[in-house]
Each structure stands twice: as structure tokens, then as C-alpha cells.
Chains A and B, each alone.
Chain A
Amino acid sequence: MDPLTLLLPPGDRRIFLAWLVLGLISLAVLWSVTEPIQGPYEQLDPGVQKGVFYRQILWLCISYCAMLVAARLPLRYLNSIAIPLFLFSLLLLVLILVAGPTIGGARRWLVLGPMRIQPSELAKVTFILVTANILGRSTTGSRSLFAMLTSFVVMVVPLMLVLREPDLGTSLVFLAVWVGMVFWYGVPGILLVGAGSAALSAIISFYSESVVHQAWPWAVYLLGLLIVLYLVRLSIPAKVTLLSLNIVTGIGIPFFWDKLKTYQQERILTFFDPSRDAFGSGYQAIQSKVAIGSGGLFGTHYLQGTQKGLAFLPERHTDFIYSVVGEELGLLGAVFLLAVFLIVIMRGVHHGTVARRPFARFLAIGVVTYFTFHVVVNVAITTGLLPVTGLPLPLISYGGSNLLTSSLLLGLLLNVSSRSFDD
């Protein structure tokens, strides 16, 4: 093997190219974000330090190495150490809850000298590995309810731990990735429809109860559901179960709502109407939309964004970096970025379909779901389609832990893609 091949990851070149492009876009945007704020604004807002840009370069190098390793480790070996790795990451999650430092009101970080590491990021990787391990055990290809239940329990544990930190955004990643992988495993469609419609019923019921204070949206939804159930071919018990599930969640949500803390309620209500708290939690949502919308077709051009430069955009180098992309690079840049992610996802789905070993298939689809969830939710938040919750844009947002995790996961995807016809 010539040294050049050794320095490049194996497998799907398009995925590696996407990693490279995303890494470079990240650096370009971070350079812009860390440009000093002009004139008198400097005194009021120190801005984002240039160090962020250089640290991101360092993290990219580290992540590249991690990706190389992840892409070259034998999958069989990864499968065998999945459970111990997962248990180790759970241990770290418990550790920070017990003994971790509280930073910004949350216990999310493990402090090792100059570095701060988020164990929840490592847990995402090991969770995908262990779920792929559990779901990939069945050799006959038949679905096992036991495997699904086991994977559910395995998902709930880190989810609850991360929720306690608290970190709502990250904990939802576990749920989303599990749904994606279990779907790939072949969960009965009726279950997915049941869960999905129940969630929808809860959201619409909440909207009726707490936002418009009128019963009709939920009533209309239930009526629609009844009509659909009447039209589709399904057993009577299944229909009854589905309907009662919808009614129970719909009625139950107001009680759950009352249990929430006032600030949590306020946060959610602000999502439906950001002007409720234009200078508080609605502020990010409003400013982010203004930044993106003011970008226009071609953007305000690189380094020229006024929203980011004048410090109107909070978290502009981390969770809200996509608004800077929108503002400075316009619709073209924003859609280009989405397209690159879409390529990664579509290639991932392909490899998750054609891989021979079940473990590799589930691994690929876990990675794909991870990226899909992160990208869709992050972009939806920055464009005001979802309520604000902390979730980085993979490979673009500043932050070592997430960059490392995302690169590791892409390394695993490259690994799957390179071995798909082996064995």
C-alpha cells in the first residue's frame, strides 16, 4: 500500500469528499464569525475570539485521524467491543452527573486538563455500535421482538442520563437514532403509524389547549383520523387501539403540561409566538430568522454579514452557525450545504442497504439517522420551524466533541462502504 492511500480513508470517496468540503466550509464560516467586531461595538461585545478558528483546525486534524482509525478498524472487532464501549460511556455519563462540574447550569462536561469533553457525544457513537450489535444478532433475518425491546431499554438508559444533565436536544438524538435503526430492522408499519399519530395527536392537542385556547384543531384532527381509519383496511382491534392511543395522548398532554416548570412552558409558548419574549428566549429565534432572511439569493457576501458582526446573533459560532451561512452565502450557499449533507445521507442509506453483514447495515443506518436528525433539526431551529433547543450542525458548528463524534461516525460509514463486498 503506498503511503498516500494509507493517509486517505478507504471506502466511498464521495463521503470523504463531503467531509472535506464541510470541514472547509466550517473553517471559512468560523473565520468570518471570529473577525473582530468593528468600532465601538467591540467594547460591548468581545465577539468570538479568533482562537475558536485555530482550535477548530486542531480539532479537524484530530478528527481526521480518528476518522482514519474508525474507517480501518475491522468491523468484526468493533462488533465484539461494542458492549464494553457502551458500558464505559454510560459510566462516564453517570460520573459527570455525580461528580461533574456545573457549567452554565448543566453538568455536561468532563474536564481533562485544558480539554472539556462531552461524554454524551461519545455515548452517541457507542450507542449506535451497541444497537447495531443487538439488532444484527439475528442470523435468520427474522425479526425478534426481544431484540427490539432490548434495544429500547439500551436507548432509554443514556436518554434519561443525558436528559438529567440536562440536555434535551442530545437526548432526543438517542430516540431518533433508535427509531431509524429499528425501522431498518423491520418494525411493523402499524407500530410506527401508531406512535407517529399519537405524537401528532399530543402536539395538536397541546396547540389547541395552550396556544389557541380552542378545542377545534384537535377535534378536526380526530375527525380526520376517524375518516382515515374508516377508509383503510385494518383489523377492528388495531383500529380501536390506534384511536384510543390518540385520544389518551391527546387528553393526557394538558396534565403533562401542568407538570412542566413555568420557564419550560414559557419556552414552548415562545416557540409558537416568538414576540412573546422578543428579548428573551424568543430573541435567538427572531434574530436567526432575520439573519437568514436578509441573506437573500446570494447573501450579503462573505465577511459582510451585519447580523453576525453586530452581535445580534447569539451562539453564532455554535448552534446558530447556519444563520451565518444563510446571511453571508445566501440561498445558494445554504442549499449547497444541505445538498452536501444529502449526498452523505443518501450514500449512507445505499451502503446500509447493500452491506452484507446486519451489523454493518445497522451501523450505516444509525450514522445516517444521526446526521439526518442533527441537520434537519438544527436547520429547522435556525429557520424558526422548531423551538430552540441546543443541537449543533455536524462538522460545521464549532465544538471539538461534536466534530470528533461526527468524524468518527463518518469513519464508520466509510468503513462499512469499503467492506461491503468483502466477507
Chain B
Amino acid sequence: MAPDRDLFLRNRIFRAVVIALFLVLTINLFVMMVPRHSFYKDQALENRQVRFRVRAPRGRILDRFGTILADNMYIADITVPPSSVAETGPDSTLARLMSWFQLPRQETLERLQQAKAKHRGRRRLVLVANASMSRISAVEERGRQLPGVRVESRPRRRYIFGPLLAHMVGYVGEVGQAELDTTDGVTGYRLGDIIGKQGVEAAFEDVLRGSSGVKLEEVNASGRVVGRRAVWLQDVTPGNDVTLSISLPLQNALADAIGDRTACAVAMSTVTGEVLAAYSNPSFDPNLLTVSITSEEWARLVNDPAKPFFNRIVAATYPPGSLYKPVTSLAGLGLGLVTTTSVLEPCLGGWEFGDRFFRCWKRGGHGEVDHTEAMVHSCDTFYYQLGLRLNIDQLAEAAAHFGLGRRCSRIFPEEAAGNIPTTAWYDRRFGVGGWTRGVLLNNAIGQGEILVTPLQMTLLTARIASGGAVPNPVFVVSPVQPLIEPVLLPYEEAHMDWCREALVQTVARGTGKAAILPGIAVAGKTGTAQNPHGEDHAWFMCYAPADRPEVAFAIIVENAGHGGSEAAPVAGQWLRSYFAKELELSALENTASERAGEAN
């Protein structure tokens, strides 16, 4: 049988189809291998070499004796790339992980969706945070079944003493949108990096953070790092440690002394200005903020009426009350408006000025008192009269000599300057002629518009004790902070001595008896800050030993009433701990300096 005509037609059609198919294949091959060759070539190279950015370990935060207050621990997360993980199918990577680790299905899928939406899905999704050892080994062993899945270790900040130092040490968090490095290389912060958010963590961010490195690693088909031939394009520079001036034992003693009072106290060396202890109660646990805190916990912390986040040490401002009287006295003495032995009009429970009667805290009155007795017994009537001899700006100038009215720590961004009103300030506030000299009566006893922070009150005490040798409070001893020249107090030494003696008398037989220590003379002043919103705040400031000052201390107990009865006992308790520990502390300090000497 001869092949029919149709067969030849079919022959041609068949050949045409085959040739067409092969032509498609060849053209496709050509496109892939010639014009798009370099694209695939790069892909092939990228397949093998992955750039890893290696975060620098953050520097630690130490107390003055080298005790670690904040360091890094490493936790392991199991992560997946959100954009390239299949969500469905019984044998998908995600399905495997969900069944092995019993992850809640709905929630996991939702998190994956969110991760895909965020940052264009480039950021790896932490599927299991802080994974247990058994889970880590499950992933490591079955890696080939889990392409793309990685175990990533990540440093987590650990605050060993939790709430004890929360306000000073602060805490870290992930960089926010504003801090991100958008211009490449200026700030160097990338997504997921850690940055100090508060306290020393924020103030010394540049010291602590170090600089990240970049390495090239070879990976296998599952995206797992293989080989030990990492090429470092840029070395990691670990962050440097920061040593606080805080003494951990004294800080503990302070927190113990304060107990559960809503209070804040600062203790400072009268020689160096180093802050030895500073505590604001209530506090919070910064460790809660380094892990993903639940929104309820966060809301509870933020809405707590006791305001645990509020750093009262530097951010809370109160009227200084009677703690201000030494300033008023020294201003008057310095200007010759009064002498140390002056006797003014007797106190009959207050002073009439204009059509107003300004009360003394002692309703019955102090009777006839001289300057010293007025200080020791905190006679308001005497200071009303003294205040009227001054003018606003003279009083404000005296306050400035003691560091009031301006930020003195320069570490805490939340620090408040307080307020020392001047003529200009009153003119701005009430208009020229809108106020009278009557404000002087209030200012003279530390009320009215005057506002100070607990830290400023400690500084005031330290400057009285040292005669101005203490320039400013120091929170950090290493890295060494730029030296500040001691201030020169323009007061005669006799006036300063009189003031110190009056403070000694205040504790010995006046309002500050609760701070008396056996064998050690304490100089101090009590105060009560009027609080229009509730019970008055109790103030106490002191330094000791009175003859050879070492340490200055100031405390405010909120809504507690009188300083003499509520604040001075806390100071007394802490001072007892201070002097009990003094021997052992100086021993420690000696060994520390010896060690430093050997290291040099």
C-alpha cells in the first residue's frame, strides 16, 4: 500500500509542530543564557554567598566596684523568611513547624500575613522566640526538611537588679522608625537593632553600642551556613562598658530604707560629686521591656497612678519648702541685709503683708527668734521678713549659685530644670505690674513658683557642705566625663560656717532629730512642700559627718506630711548603713584602685 497524500500532509504538519516546539525551547534557552546570563550568574553567586551583618555585643553597665548591673545574654529564635514560606499544604515547611511545636494555627498564619505586609516581607519572622534546647535541636537535625528555617541567636539585654536601678540604667529597645538609618552609614541603625531608650543606656548609646561587622558566609541549598571560611568585610567592634558612680550596696540600702513609700532620694559624695545611690520609688522591671511585653502589661505600667516609669530623681519637680531657707539666709547675709545674730520682729504665728496674713507653720508662733534659731526651728515669720528685704533677682542669683533652676546631670533627657523665678519671669508670667513684692514672702520659704528636683536638692546640700567644691552631680566614672571647674560661692567663710552650724543644730535639737546618728554629727534641714493636690510632700536634706563632710543626701516622700517626721528617719536609716559599710567600702575601693594600678 502506497503512502497516501494525506500521510505526506500529516508528515509536514508533524514536522512543523516538532520544529516549532524545539524552536520555542531554543529561543527560551538563548534568552536565558545570553541576554539574561549576568542576571542568573549573579543569582548563582548570591546562592552561595550571603552577607551577614553581625551585631556588636553591647557594652555592659557596671557599678563603681565593677559589679555587673546590665549585660547581654543570648537567646535563640527560630525564624523563617515570611515572603518565601508556603502557608498551605500538608508537607509545607510551616505545616511541619506548626505540628512539631504545636503552634496555634490561626495565630501563626496571621503573624505570617503581618510579617509579609511589613517591611515588604524582607524581615525574618520570629516563629518561636527564646526557643528551648529541644526545639533548637529539632530544627538543626531536620534542617533539610525545613528549607529557609534558621536558628538565630540574638543578644538580649539583662538587667540583673531589675527595678533597683531602672531609672538610672534605663533600658533598651528596638530602633524606631525615626532612628533608622535611611541614608546608609550616618547612624548605622538597621531594622531590629537595639538602641538605648532611657537612662544611661540612652545617654551613653555611642559608648555602649560598638559597631557591627559584615561577613560573607557560604550557605548550602537550604540556606544554612556551611564552611568556616567566613570572609570579614568589616570587623565587629564590641561596645565599651560604662561604669556608674553608683555603689550597689548603698543603692540596696537606699531602696530598703525607702521601702514602699512613694519617694525619691539621692546620695552624693561631697568631695567628687559622684552619685552613690539614687532611687525613685515605685520603679519598674526593665527586663520586661526587652522582651515582647504584652499590651496589658504595658497598659498596667503606663496607667499605674504611682507612675513607676517617672524618673523622680531628675524629672519630678516640687517646691523646696524650708530646704530653701539656707539659700535665703545666705543671700541676705551676702548682701549685708541681715547678720547671723539678727533678731527680727517676733513670730506670732505669721506675718501680715498687704491685706494678707502669711502663716508660719507653727500656729502658736516662735516668739522672738534670732537668725540661727529661725533656721533651726524653721520659723517662716522670720524668713518672710528677710525675704522682704531682698528682691526677687537677688534671691534667684543665690539659688543659681547652688545649681538650682537648671539641669545639672546632663545625662537624662527627661531631666527637668525646675524653676527659679526672676523679675523677668514674673513679668512674662503675670505681665509687668501684674504681681507684687508679696511673691517674695513665698519665695523666701521655698514656696510659690519655685520648683526643684531631688537631684538639685542633693547638689544644694553638697555645695553647702563643701563650700562649692562640688561642681555637678556625676553619674558615670568610666568613660571619664569632662571635668567641670568647681564653682566659687561668693559667700564669706564665716557665713558658710554659720549656715553649717545652724544645720547641725537643726538635727541635734531642731526639726531634724530623726536623723541623729550615734557618734557622727549630721547637718540637715527638714522641709514640707505644699501640695495643692493633696497631702504635703516631706523633704529632708543632710550631709555627714558634719565636721568632715563625705556624703550629701536629699529625700522627698510624696504626700507624707512633715519632713521631720516622715523623711528624716529614712535619711537616718540610710546614713547608718552608709557608715556601717564605710569600712568595708573603703576596703573594696582600695582593692579596686590597686587592680586598676596593676592593669596600668
- Which A positions have Cβ atoms within 8 angstroms of B? 39-41, 43-45, 139, 141, 180, 183-184, 186, 262-263, 266, 270, 275-281, 283, 287, 289-297, 306-307, 310-312, 314, 326, 330-331, 334-335, 338, 342, 345-346, 349, 352-354, 356, 358, 361, 365, 368, 372, 376, 379-380, 383, 385
> Contact flags (1/0) for B170-193 with A, using CB distance below 8 Å?
000000000000000000000000
Known: A277-B92, A278-B81, A356-B1. 14 other contacts (CB 8 A): A40-B226, A44-B220, A180-B14, A184-B14, A262-B89, A277-B85, A277-B86, A279-B147, A280-B85, A292-B29, A293-B39, A312-B47, A331-B29, A346-B15
Check B26 for interface membership: any CB of A closer than 8 A: yes
The answer, among B15, B93, B147, for a CB contact under 8 Å with A349, is B15
* Docked CA distance A128–B86 (Å): 40
Q: For A40, what are the chain B residues with a Cβ–Cβ distance below 8 Å?
A: 226-228
- Assuming the contacts A44-B224, A312-B221, asked whether A290 and B43 have C-beta atoms less than 8 A apart, the reply is yes
* Docked CA distance A294–B92 (Å): 28
Q: For A312, what are the chain B residues with a Cβ–Cβ distance below 8 Å?
A: 44, 47-48, 220-221
5 CB-based A-B contacts, threshold 8 Å: A186-B6, A279-B93, A280-B147, A353-B3, A361-B7
* Docked CA distance A292–B29 (Å): 8
Q: For A314, what are the chain B residues with a Cβ–Cβ distance below 8 Å?
A: 221
The answer, among B33, B39, B85, for a CB contact under 8 Å with A334, is B33
Check B533 for interface membership: any CB of A closer than 8 A: no
Interface centre among B10, B28, B81 (most CB of A within 10 A): B10
Q: For B365, what are the chain A residues with a Cβ–Cβ distance below 8 Å?
A: none
Which of B17-25, B338-346, B389-397, B569-577 lines the interface with chain A?
B17-25
* Docked CA distance A261–B25 (Å): 31
Check B295 for interface membership: any CB of A closer than 8 A: no
* Docked CA distance A310–B85 (Å): 22
Check B36 for interface membership: any CB of A closer than 8 A: yes
Question: By DSSP majority rule, is chain B's interface helix, strand, loop, or mixed?
Answer: helix
| Whole-angstrom distance between the Cβ of B302 and the nearest chain A Cβ | 41
| Whole-angstrom distance between the Cβ of A359 and the nearest chain B Cβ | 12
Closest 5 CB pairs between A and B? A293-B40, A278-B84, A279-B147, A263-B89, A279-B148
Check B41 for interface membership: any CB of A closer than 8 A: yes
Q: Which residue of B lies closest to A291 (CB)?
A: B44
Judge whether A331 and B25 touch: CB under 8 Å: no
Judge whether B33 and A295 touch: CB under 8 Å: yes
Judge whether A293 and B91 touch: CB under 8 Å: no
Check B291 for interface membership: any CB of A closer than 8 A: no
| Whole-angstrom distance between the Cβ of A262 and the nearest chain B Cβ | 5
* Docked CA distance A262–B87 (Å): 10
Q: For A354, what are the chain B residues with a Cβ–Cβ distance below 8 Å?
A: 3
* Docked CA distance A338–B19 (Å): 11
- Assuming the contacts A44-B224, A266-B89, A279-B93, asked whether A293 and B37 have C-beta atoms less than 8 A apart, the reply is yes
Check B210 for interface membership: any CB of A closer than 8 A: no
Q: For A45, what are the chain B residues with a Cβ–Cβ distance below 8 Å?
A: 220-221
Judge whether A330 and B33 touch: CB under 8 Å: yes
Q: Which residue of B lies closest to A45 (CB)?
A: B220
Judge whether A294 and B227 touch: CB under 8 Å: no
Q: Which residue of B lies closest to A39 (CB)?
A: B227
Q: Which residue of A lies closest to B7 (CB)?
A: A353
Q: Which residue of A lies closest to B147 (CB)?
A: A279
Check B83 for interface membership: any CB of A closer than 8 A: yes
| Whole-angstrom distance between the Cβ of A337 and the nearest chain B Cβ | 10
* Docked CA distance A354–B36 (Å): 43
- Which B positions have Cβ atoms within 8 angstroms of A? 1, 3-4, 6-8, 10-11, 13-15, 18-19, 21-22, 24-26, 28-30, 32-34, 36-37, 39-41, 43-44, 47-48, 81, 83-86, 88-93, 147-148, 220-224, 226-228
Q: For A342, what are the chain B residues with a Cβ–Cβ distance below 8 Å?
A: 18-19, 22
Judge whether A385 and B28 touch: CB under 8 Å: yes
Judge whether A275 and B84 touch: CB under 8 Å: yes
Question: By DSSP majority rule, is chain A's interface helix, strand, loop, or mixed?
Answer: helix
- Assuming the contacts A276-B86, A279-B84, asked whether A334 and B29 have C-beta atoms less than 8 A apart, the reply is yes
Q: Which residue of B lies closest to A371 (CB)?
A: B18
* Docked CA distance A176–B540 (Å): 97
Judge whether A306 and B48 touch: CB under 8 Å: yes
Q: For B226, what are the chain A residues with a Cβ–Cβ distance below 8 Å?
A: 40-41, 43-44
Q: For A280, what are the chain B residues with a Cβ–Cβ distance below 8 Å?
A: 85-86, 89, 92-93, 147
Judge whether B26 and A338 touch: CB under 8 Å: yes
Judge whether A349 and B14 touch: CB under 8 Å: yes
* Docked CA distance A283–B4 (Å): 49
* Docked CA distance A186–B8 (Å): 11
Q: For A297, what are the chain B residues with a Cβ–Cβ distance below 8 Å?
A: 33-34, 37
* Docked CA distance A385–B85 (Å): 22
* Docked CA distance A39–B226 (Å): 10
| Whole-angstrom distance between the Cβ of B90 and the nearest chain A Cβ | 6
The answer, among B1, B15, B21, for a CB contact under 8 Å with A376, is B21
* Docked CA distance A349–B17 (Å): 12
| Whole-angstrom distance between the Cβ of B477 and the nearest chain A Cβ | 47
| Whole-angstrom distance between the Cβ of A381 and the nearest chain B Cβ | 11
* Docked CA distance A358–B221 (Å): 51
Q: Which residue of A lies closest to B13 (CB)?
A: A183
Judge whether A383 and B28 touch: CB under 8 Å: yes
* Docked CA distance A266–B92 (Å): 10
Judge whether A287 and B221 touch: CB under 8 Å: yes
The answer, among B3, B18, B93, for a CB contact under 8 Å with A345, is B18
Q: For A263, what are the chain B residues with a Cβ–Cβ distance below 8 Å?
A: 88-92
| Whole-angstrom distance between the Cβ of B160 and the nearest chain A Cβ | 39
Q: For B10, what are the chain A residues with a Cβ–Cβ distance below 8 Å?
A: 183-184, 186
| Whole-angstrom distance between the Cβ of A300 and the nearest chain B Cβ | 9
Judge whether A292 and B85 touch: CB under 8 Å: no
Judge whether A266 and B86 touch: CB under 8 Å: yes
| Whole-angstrom distance between the Cβ of A194 and the nearest chain B Cβ | 16
Interface centre among B6, B21, B36, B227 (most CB of A within 10 A): B21
Interface centre among A326, A353, A356, A380 (most CB of B within 10 A): A353
* Docked CA distance A312–B222 (Å): 8
Judge whether B33 and A290 touch: CB under 8 Å: no
| Whole-angstrom distance between the Cβ of B119 and the nearest chain A Cβ | 16
Q: For B25, what are the chain A residues with a Cβ–Cβ distance below 8 Å?
A: 338, 376, 379-380, 383, 385
Judge whether A293 and B84 touch: CB under 8 Å: no
* Docked CA distance A312–B220 (Å): 7
* Docked CA distance A180–B15 (Å): 12
Q: For B47, what are the chain A residues with a Cβ–Cβ distance below 8 Å?
A: 287, 290, 306-307, 310, 312
Judge whether A326 and B33 touch: CB under 8 Å: yes
Interface centre among A270, A334, A365 (most CB of B within 10 A): A334
| Whole-angstrom distance between the Cβ of B231 and the nearest chain A Cβ | 15
* Docked CA distance A293–B34 (Å): 8
Q: For A41, what are the chain B residues with a Cβ–Cβ distance below 8 Å?
A: 220, 226-227
| Whole-angstrom distance between the Cβ of B9 and the nearest chain A Cβ | 10
The answer, among B29, B88, B89, B91, for a CB contact under 8 Å with A383, is B29
* Docked CA distance A338–B22 (Å): 8
Judge whether B48 and A292 touch: CB under 8 Å: no
Q: Which residue of B lies closest to A295 (CB)?
A: B33
Judge whether A290 and B44 touch: CB under 8 Å: yes
Judge whether A310 and B88 touch: CB under 8 Å: no
| Whole-angstrom distance between the Cβ of A204 and the nearest chain B Cβ | 18
Q: For B224, what are the chain A residues with a Cβ–Cβ distance below 8 Å?
A: 44
Judge whether A141 and B36 touch: CB under 8 Å: no
The answer, among A141, A326, A352, for a CB contact under 8 Å with B1, is A141
Q: For B86, what are the chain A residues with a Cβ–Cβ distance below 8 Å?
A: 266, 270, 276-277, 280-281
Judge whether B26 and A311 touch: CB under 8 Å: no
Judge whether B44 and A307 touch: CB under 8 Å: yes
| Whole-angstrom distance between the Cβ of B220 and the nearest chain A Cβ | 5
Q: For B13, what are the chain A residues with a Cβ–Cβ distance below 8 Å?
A: 183
Q: For A330, what are the chain B residues with a Cβ–Cβ distance below 8 Å?
A: 33
The answer, among A295, A311, A353, A380, for a CB contact under 8 Å with B8, is A353
| Whole-angstrom distance between the Cβ of B558 and the nearest chain A Cβ | 58
Q: Which residue of A lies closest to B36 (CB)?
A: A293
Judge whether B44 and A292 touch: CB under 8 Å: no
- Assuming the contacts A141-B1, A141-B4, A296-B41, asked whether A335 and B227 have C-beta atoms less than 8 A apart, the reply is no
